[in-house]
């Protein structure tokens, strides 16, 4: 069975500071990994995804994540955050179902950017 752990439920950070949101997963098979962002009162939007190939994945809004198979991690990073990055971030692992892929989500990390 797949599971996703986001170790930090809330992360406050000052504007223009770097940030890392942590994600660990467990899976017995090859995985696809995703980070989604949810702004207040909106649905989830894909930030980036790892399917195969390079372990460093770049996404929208200056975010990137690194897939580390040995540590079963997929941490999200941004070198300099902006006020507009305040949102909730969800890590997810996909596994193959019947004809499609299901996602298992972490509990989410609320990023608060302080002016």
Partner 1 sequence: DAGVIQSPRHEVTEMGQEVTLRCKPISGHNSLFWYRQTMMRGLELLIYFNNNVPIDDSGMPEDRFSAKMPNASFSTLKIQPSEPRDSAVYFCASSPLNEQFFGPGTRLTVL
Contact predicate 35/20, CB 8 Å: no
φ, ψ (nearest 5 deg) of residue 76: -100, 135
Please choose, from the candidates 21, 19, 23, the residue with its C-alpha nearest in 3D space to the C-alpha of residue 104: 23
To which residue do tokens 């752990």 refer? 5
Output DSSP code: residue 71. T
Q: Is 57 in the site for partner 1 (CB under 8 A)?
A: no
**Segment contacting partner 1 (CB under 8 A): 15-23, 55-63, 79-87, 93-101?**
93-101
Confirm or reject binding of residue 54 to partner 1 (CB under 8 A).
no
Scanning 10-18, 65-73, 79-87, 94-102 for contacts with partner 1 by CB under 8 A, the matching segment is 94-102
User: Which residues, 13 to 52, sit near partner 1 by CB under 8 A?
Assistant: 32, 34, 36, 42-46, 49, 51
**Alpha carbon 71 to its chain's center:** 15
**Per-residue DSSP letter, 29:** S
Query: Min. distance of Cβ 80 from partner 1 in angstroms?
Result: 27
Site residues for partner 1 per CB under 8 A: 32, 34, 36, 42-46, 49, 51, 90, 94, 97-103, 105-108
């Amino acid at each position: 069975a797949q599971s996703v752990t986001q170790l930090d439920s809330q992360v406050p950070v000052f504007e223009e500071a770097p940030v890392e949101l942590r994600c660990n997963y467990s899976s017995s098979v090859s995985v696809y990994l995703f980070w989604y962002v949810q702004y207040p009162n909106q649905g989830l939007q894909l930030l980036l995804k790892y399917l195969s190939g390079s372990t460093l994945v770049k996404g929208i809004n200056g975010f990137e994540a690194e897939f580390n198979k040995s540590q079963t991690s997929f941490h999200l990073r941004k070198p300099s955050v902006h006020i507009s990055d305040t949102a909730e971030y969800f890590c997810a692992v996909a596994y193959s179902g019947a004809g499609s892929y299901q996602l298992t989500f972490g509990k989410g990390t609320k990023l608060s950017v302080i002016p």
